[in-house]
Amino acid sequence: MSQTTSIRYTIIGAGAGGLCAGIKLLEQGQSDFLIFDRELQVGGTWYRNTYPGLECDIAAHLYCYSFAPNPDWSGPFPPQPEIRAYLEKTALDRGLEPHLRLGNGVVSALWDEDRARWQLELEDGGRVESQYVISATGMFGAAVVPEIVGLESFEGTIFHSAKWNHEHDLRGERVAIIGSAASAVQFVPEIAPEVEQLHVFQRTPNWVLPKANEPYTEEQIAAHHAQPELMEESRVQLMNVAELALSYTSDDRTFFDAAEDAGRAALEVVEDPEIRKLLTPDHPFGAKRPLLSNKYYKSFNRKNVELVVDPIEKITPKGVVTADGREREVDTIILATGFDTHSYTSAIDVRGRDGVTLREAWKEAPEAYFGVTTSGFPNLFMLYGPNTNGGNSIILMLEFQVEYTLRLIAEAERAGVDWIDVRREVMDEYNAGLQEELDSVAIWHVGANDYYRTASGKIVTQWPQGFSVYKERVDKDDLSSFETGQV
């Protein structure tokens, strides 16, 4: 029988959120915590995803911790290896290494009501007992494999873009890409020059805007080192622009109209007018996740790249058959079909009061109070939980949520209570108001797809206001929103 480790805090996930939580605990003088992650290194989604061309869509001086600016970014939108290296360096510099338990994920968590402790089981069979659990599993967990007839019959190579097969050589191959959103927009231009033939299967065209991504000069990087205030000024400007531009509840369409104009202008690079028309979205900018690329549209000027808009009917051992009956024989299929963005912490077997699982509590749709706590699951806090995604930097949101979480715990400690659990009526009232705000965002009801919505039609990913509004609201919240208790 494995020994049980008793600690004050368990942090699940060593991505940006989990690392932030650990760093802030250390800053408060609290060292009784461990960070578990199934991966062998820190970085979360920036460790797992390694497809060609992967880079951030949020400018670097904003896509980093406010307490750890990075003067060494190579450009405004850094590539994946740089972001991963930044997270690794920050974890090391901030003293997290002794607290990391990598290559060992949490598989289940059970609330012990009598002892006010969480009982967790690990992948290696170990057990952990913890008063508080901070789940930083994020939104981009399991990769989605589409349900296409015959997919398992394909005799060639097949892999998901989230699990890129770097050992497989695509040079000279005939390749099918199923999906045309965030990941495909980035890797299509990278692999197009080396394959013999590329078929891009598009279900819905997306707005793909250009981005100013000229590499920083040596002089600029030196200035970032010598004058850190330049990075802070850039951060504040970027945050303010994002807050104003992506104010979805506002009636002001100035930014959105300008974005559509920029998108149409970007499409002009496509030489064939018929292909350009097929790549032009029929929904307003903002209805779906906005995408950025300076290279994607140019790819369709290549003779070896075909845009396919006919629906896929089935996969055969040799290729892909569309609804018009045509079969395109290929050597490799790459699934660029995204992630399950609706599971959040329920991807783990979490059982709260009365043995109710988080999956059961969220059977209609995931919901939480400020995206952080869910009624019936005491002392469980989530980072990047339901309805906390938006147009600003998620790093900013994570910092706000960690600050809120640790403040609530500190209030509980001062009150001398062992557990806190958001009141059901408080959570219900909050979510009713949140859904009203979401209903007011007209563009999300024009073309919002499964990325935002559950099968029931409820939007469970998006925060409808600016992130500064989120911070204002959580700053006003306190322990009165929670039930409390002692053992």
Q: Is residue 308 part of a domain?
A: yes
> Given the DSSP bridges, would you call strands 349-351 and 380-382 parallel, antiparallel or unpaired?
unpaired
Distance CA 341, CA 142 (A): 8
Q: Is residue 475 part of a domain?
A: yes
Q: Are residues 189 and 327 in the same domain?
A: yes
- At 477, the pLDDT band (50, 70, 90 cuts) reads very high
The residue among 397, 398, 405, 425 whose CA lies nearest residue 483 is: 425
| High-pLDDT (> 90) share of the chain, % | 83
Residue 159: the pLDDT is 97
CB 398 within 8 A of CB 470: no
Query: Is the confidence at residue 321, as pLDDT, over 80?
Result: yes
Q: Which of 299, 319, 335 marks a domain boundary?
A: 335
Give 2-57 pLDDT, tens digit per residue.
689 999 999 999 999 999 999 999 999 999 999 999 999 999 999 999 999 999 99
Q: Are residues 177 and 318 in the same domain?
A: yes
Residue 451: the pLDDT is 66
Q: Are residues 458 and 393 in the same domain?
A: yes
Domain residues for 356? 4-142+340-485
Q: Are residues 189 and 271 in the same domain?
A: yes
Query: Is the confidence at residue 84, as pLDDT, over 90?
Result: yes
Q: Are residues 329 and 414 in the same domain?
A: no
- At 1, the pLDDT band (50, 70, 90 cuts) reads very low
Distance CA 427, CA 439 (A): 18
Q: Is residue 281 part of a domain?
A: yes
Count other C-beta atoms under 10 Å from residue 303's C-beta: 6
> Given the DSSP bridges, would you call strands 127-135 and 117-122 parallel, antiparallel or unpaired?
antiparallel
Q: Is residue 172 part of a domain?
A: yes
- At 289, the pLDDT band (50, 70, 90 cuts) reads confident
Q: Is the dihedral of CA 279, 255, 188, 147 positive or negative?
A: negative
Give 156-165 pLDDT, tens digit per residue.
999 999 999 9
Count other C-beta atoms under 10 Å from residue 417's C-beta: 17
Q: Is residue 346 part of a domain?
A: yes
What is the reported pTM? 0.95
Contacts of 75 by beta carbon, 8 Å cutoff, 6+ apart: 60, 213, 214, 215, 216
Q: Which of 283, 306, 335 marks a domain boundary?
A: 335
Q: What is the DSSP letter of 79?
A: B
Q: Are residues 119 and 172 in the same domain?
A: no
Q: Is residue 126 part of a domain?
A: yes
CB 286 within 8 A of CB 248: yes
Distance CA 446, CA 88 (A): 40
Q: What is the mean pLDDT of residues 188-194?
A: 98
Secondary structure E strands in 388-428: 419-422
Give 131-152 pLDDT, tens digit per residue.
999 999 987 778 889 999 999 9
Per-chain mean pLDDT for the chain: 94
Q: What is the CATH number of the domain that holds 118?
A: 3.50.50.60
Domain count, the chain: 2
The residue among 106, 99, 104, 97 whose CA lies nearest residue 35 is: 99
Q: What is the mean pLDDT of residues 249-263?
A: 83
Which two tokens mark 130? Answer: 């913890």
Q: Is residue 224 part of a domain?
A: no
Q: Are residues 288 and 350 in the same domain?
A: no
> Given the DSSP bridges, would you call strands 332-335 and 157-160 parallel, antiparallel or unpaired?
parallel
Three-state SS string over 173-228 comes to CEEEEECCCHHHHHHHHHHCCCCCEEEEECCCCCCEECCCCCCCCHHHHHHHHHCH
Query: Is the confidence at residue 357, as pLDDT, over 90?
Result: yes
Q: Are residues 157 and 172 in the same domain?
A: yes
Q: Are residues 170 and 302 in the same domain?
A: yes
Query: Is the confidence at residue 294, as pLDDT, over 90?
Result: yes
